Amino acid sequence: MHLIVNQVFTGIVSGAVLVLLALGLNLIFGFMEIINFSHGAFFMLGAYVGFYLLTAFGSFWWGLALVPLLLLLLGAAVERTLIKPLYRRSAVDPLLLTFGLTYIVTQLVEMIAGKQGETVNAPSQLNFQLPLGFTSYPAYLTFVAVLAGLIVLGLWLLLERTSLGLIIRAGIRDSTMIQILGIDFDRFRVLVFALGIALAGVAGVLNSPVTGVYPEMGNDILITAFVVVVVGGMGSFWGAVLSGLVIGVLVSLTTLFASVYASIVPFVLMILVMTFRPRGLLGTT
Give the pLDDT confidence score for residue 31 in this predicted structure: 83
Query: In this structure, are residues 253 and 11 in contact, taking their beta carbons and an 8 Å threshold?
Result: yes
| Per-position pLDDT tens, the chain of length 285 | 778 888 999 999 999 999 999 999 999 988 888 889 999 999 999 999 999 999 999 999 999 999 999 999 999 999 999 999 988 888 789 889 999 999 999 999 999 998 888 999 999 899 888 887 767 789 999 999 999 999 999 999 999 999 888 888 888 777 778 778 778 778 888 999 999 999 999 999 999 999 999 999 998 899 999 999 999 998 889 999 999 999 999 999 999 999 899 999 999 999 999 999 989 998 876
CB of 169 within 8 A of CB of 155?
no
Backbone angles phi, psi at 55, to 5 degrees: -65, -40
Distances in Å between the Cα of 52 and the Cα atoms of 122, 129, 199 are 14, 26, 19
CA angle at 182 for the pair 176 and 185, rounded to the nearest 5° = 55
Listed in sequence order, the residues at least 6 apart from 120 whose beta carbon sits closer than 8 Å to its beta carbon are 47, 50, 51, 54, 60, 208, 209, 212, 213
Return the pLDDT at 255.
92
Q: Can you give the pLDDT at residue 285?
A: 66
pLDDT tens-digit series, residues 139-189: 999 999 999 999 999 999 999 999 888 888 888 777 778 778 778 778 888
The residue extents of the domains of the chain are 17-216
Let me know: does 67 contact 53? Beta carbons within 8 Å: yes
Rounded-to-integer distance, Cα 52 and Cα 49, Å: 5
> What is residue 115's three-state secondary structure?
coil
Helix residue ranges per DSSP H, 114-173: 139-161, 163-173
Strand residues in the chain grouped as ranges (E): 129-131, 136-138
**C-alpha span between 96 and 269 (Å, rounded):** 27
Q: Is residue 11 within 8 Å of residue 141, measured between CB atoms?
A: no
273 vs 285: CA distance, rounded Å:
14
Separation of alpha carbons 109 and 107, rounded Å: 5
pLDDT number for residue 164: 86
Is the CA virtual torsion 63, 205, 219, 41 positive or negative? Answer: negative
The CB density around residue 103, as the number of other CB atoms within 10 Å, is 13
DSSP state of 213: B
Q: How far is CA 243 from the centre of its chain?
A: 13
Give the DSSP H or E segment for 131: strand 129-131
Is the CB of residue 141 less than 8 Å from the CB of residue 149?
A: no
